[in-house]
Chain A
């Protein structure tokens, strides 16, 4: 599964996404008597090439779920299968984006993206070509030689997305990637991500607490309860793509959003009178 990345240098790969299968997954931090049950048990599947969001209140275990699926945290119980194979070590065929851009301040934008090539030992020219194409797709042309502090917040997050995609992974894990951006920037970057996804059909697991973002991007939204988080509802989003900036144009959007609000209210997350 490792380093099969970077096929033909084109952004549209022949390879489809990987499938994710999660069963009985739970996480407890610490040991008794001070153990904190943070997550689960949860079950869900993400089909190859599907865009699935996990939405829930802060601290419900969304981010933990992502780390467990990436094999970056030991799970307490349960199993994760990627393309049918049980996950036993950190997932390599993957790109990760966090809420903070986590770019290296001592590398230029291009240098940050090329970290993938250097650490994985991939072909330099091919990766450069892919990086150039991603920079063009993400509106980063001219930013290649800038350092992170010379870029706006939105640009930094775009570089971070390019870093997660340059090696052509079959899966993208995103933990509130637009959470630190202003509303206008996040609407645009949401759209750009959707177009990129439509072309590449990576499997995406998208963690968010924005209802707009979840409905605006996903094929399915999994709604989580407060900690220890469980998946309380699965909502299939049947909206045409690419979806517009103003989602309120769709009556279905209002229905999906109201459903999520209702669930949050029933869980006591919202207490409106």
Chain B
């Protein structure tokens, strides 16, 4: 374990060095060539902005994070039971699954304007877009997870006298946890993309809104600061997912190695 955390520390250090190095080159080039701040700000400019405008950026980042959390949880809570239902009932698979596939292929962002008409300008548009974006990858992976159980394993559990609930609890659900997490990791990336787009088109708060406003005022340092904040929000969600996976699905690590 000491070796593992030691290796993690070294790799974190390497990443930090690389990032500082890249920012240093950026800083130097902008200074040497005297690029105006309204065209391309220096890293020191927009990193300073993260500090001076911390309250403003934190407010919008919190709004965005809340939207992601709601939409994402909604997506997972609908996708996983639906996946189980589709896998369990042949009629659902034949009737519903083609519709789901069609909806999945359709670019989700195009329904943004429809949501604006239905829900008006506000957080609901963002929540629903996030829901749509993360719903499909979670559902598709959950389906493959629920299906992955070998038929003969059910022979063994039936000889144990297992009830359908026990089969779900001891076989299907744990078997699907790894794939569900894989789907959620794709889903969270899509969710963040979705929330920013939704906030571009229909919101009065959130990092997407802040970015559009900064762009309107040609306040490029704020825009870049908001970009960094967006990346930090994405990193946070990823970290929470990864940590909870280690806790809940400890056996899945070998699948990634």
Contacts and interface: CB of A to CB of B under 8 A. Distances in A.
Interface string B156-180: 1111111000100011001101100
Contact of A120 (B150, B158, B160, B251): B160
B251 A102 contact: no
A204 interface: no
A106 B150 CA distance: 14
Nearest to B163: A119
Contact of A149 (B153, B155, B159, B254): B254
A96 interface: yes
Contacts of B229: none
Contacts of A118: 170
B158 A102 contact: no
B152 interface: yes
Residue among B153, B156, B171, B254 having the largest count of chain A Cβ atoms under 10 Å:
B156
Interface in B224-256: 249, 251-252, 254
Contact of A115 (B170, B251, B254): B170
Nearest to B251: A106
B251 A105 contact: yes
B160 A102 contact: no
Contacts of B254: 147, 149-150
B50 to A, nearest CB: 42
B155 A116 contact: no
Interface in A45-91: 67, 70, 72, 90-91
Nearest to A115: B170
B249 A106 contact: yes
A115 B160 contact: yes
Contact of A102 (B153, B161, B177, B178): B153
A119 B161 contact: yes
Contact of A70 (B155, B166, B171, B175): B155
Contact of B150 (A67, A92, A100, A119): A100
A117 B138 CA distance: 33
B249 A92 contact: no
Contacts of B174: 104, 106-107
Interface string B136-163: 0000000000000010110111111110
B162 to A, nearest CB: 5
Nearest to B167: A119
B175 A106 contact: yes
A101 to B, nearest CB: 10
Nearest to B166: A119
A229 B157 CA distance: 27
Nearest to A97: B156
Contacts of B159: 70, 72, 90-92, 94-96
A90 B158 contact: yes
A128 to B, nearest CB: 17
A104 B175 contact: yes
Contact of A98 (B152, B160, B170, B249): B152
A2 interface: yes
A172 B162 CA distance: 18
Contacts of A100: 150, 152
Contacts of B166: 119
Nearest to B155: A72
B173 to A, nearest CB: 10
B171 A104 contact: yes
Contacts of A119: 157, 160-162, 166, 170
A150 B257 CA distance: 13
Contact of B161 (A2, A96, A104): A2
Interface string A160-174: 000100000000000
Nearest to A99: B152
Contacts of A67: 155
A98 B158 CA distance: 14
A163 B153 CA distance: 12
B159 to A, nearest CB: 5
Nearest to A160: B156
A98 to B, nearest CB: 5
Contacts of B252: 106
A3 B252 CA distance: 33
Contacts of A150: 254
A96 B177 contact: no
Contacts of A115: 157, 160, 170
B177 A106 contact: yes
A91 B160 CA distance: 8
Interface of B: 150, 152-153, 155-162, 166, 170-171, 174-175, 177-178, 249, 251-252, 254
Given A106-B251, A115-B157, 7 more contacts: A70-B159, A72-B158, A90-B159, A92-B161, A105-B175, A106-B177, A119-B166
11 contacts: A2-B161, A3-B161, A92-B159, A104-B153, A104-B171, A105-B175, A106-B249, A107-B251, A115-B157, A118-B170, A119-B160
